[in-house]
Amino acid sequence: MSRADPAPFLGHRLTPLLGLAALAVVALVAVPSLGRSPLTRFDALPLAEERLPTPVWLPHCRMHVVEWRSSPALQAETSVGAQALSVIDGTCRDAFARFGDFVRAQGLTQARSEPTAMPTISLLPGNVLLDGKSLRALNDLGSRFEAVAPGCCYWGLYVESINHVFLRNDPLMRGDNGTLQANPRFVRTLTHELSHVLSTHLGVWDATSFDRDRDERLAEQFVSFMGLQFPVESSSEDLQFHLGKGAPREHGVWAAQNEPRAMTP
């Protein structure tokens, strides 16, 4: 999981593989809010009306994009199109090409040379200062992600138990000259989640017990291995990046004053 706020929670997937009883229960069914039925992990999957009319195949990712919801405030940066899809597929190409070297550098092994059945992908609004908490968006816990997300807020989430990757919807950003270009913060998020996906589907944990915290650390190490040295940004910083104002220098202090905290209603 790629967090969208400065809270220090480290976690990305809640699956039957987890040995912690509390997490195993949450992965299957969430405690219902007053007056409604409990959510299950399957509620996180896109509804029929939310799916693209035709899934988009990404050859280097070996995955289909089945859901894509843009943000009206950043329509060009968050809409499906050839340039945005190229950013996603190119990130997969680079990650796949170097993941084996990374695993060996970590002293680990992978059980398979080719991945097992890969996930499907949803791209959703994630910025909680825009529409990231709107109905069925990436940080909508109450009606979509309560059973699989430990709390708000995040930029990406791989849920192994339903074999689905949920990502922020902004592969593009505007450069200094106003033209659309790859968004490095999206690339960071996707690279992080790809580490989770590849470690699972290439069998990195087959020879040893799965450890959620270790897998999360491995994902962050892979991000650095791929040359992405900047930290995860808050929603307020992300907004400034998109508006072309740059990031505050004091990342933690500024974000703590202006960013919704985990589980804030």
DSSP-derived secondary structure for 188-204: HHHHHHHHHHHHHHTTT
What pLDDT does residue 35 have? Answer: 58
User: Does the CA dihedral 16-18-21-24 come out positive or negative?
Assistant: negative
What pLDDT does residue 207 have? Answer: 79
- DSSP states of 47-108: PGGGS-SSPEEETTTTEEEEEE---GGGHHHHS--HHHHHHHHHHHHHHHHHHHHHHHHTT-
**Bond from prior residue into 152 cis (ω within 30 degrees of 0):** no
Taking the domains of the chain in order of start, what are their residue ranges?
A: 2-258
* DSSP assignment letter at 22: H
- Residue 207 in contact with residue 109, Cβ under 8 Å? yes
- Residue 18 in contact with residue 41, Cβ under 8 Å? no
Model confidence over 249-259: pLDDT tens digits?
A: 333 322 332 33
Q: Is 167 helix (H, G, I), strand (E, B) or coil?
A: strand
Query: For residue 88, is it left (φ>0), alpha (ψ between -120 and 50) or beta?
Result: alpha
Dihedral Cα 159, 30, 141, 76, nearest 10 deg = 30
What pTM was computed for the model? 0.82
Q: Give, for 240, the enclosing helix (H) or strand (E).
A: helix 235-243
What pLDDT does residue 22 have? Answer: 29
What pLDDT does residue 259 have? Answer: 33
Model confidence over 108-131: pLDDT tens digits?
A: 999 999 999 999 999 999 999 999
What pLDDT does residue 51 have? Answer: 98
Residue 138 corresponds to which tokens in the numbers above? 């990436």
| 68-97 per-residue burial string, b: 16 or more CB within 10 A, e: under 16 | bbbbeebeebbbbeeebbebbbbbbebbbe
What pLDDT does residue 25 have? Answer: 29
What crossing angle do the helices spanning 82-105 and 212-225 adopt, rounded to 10°? 110
What pLDDT does residue 1 have? Answer: 61
Half-sphere exposure of residue 93: CA atoms within 13 angstroms, side-chain side: 9
Query: For residue 203, is it left (φ>0), alpha (ψ between -120 and 50) or beta?
Result: left
CA distance 187 to 205: 24
Q: Which residues of the chain have pLDDT under 50?
A: 3, 5-31, 33, 247-265
Torsion angles phi and psi, residue 224, rounded to 5: -65, -40
Q: Give, for 239, the enclosing helix (H) or strand (E).
A: helix 235-243
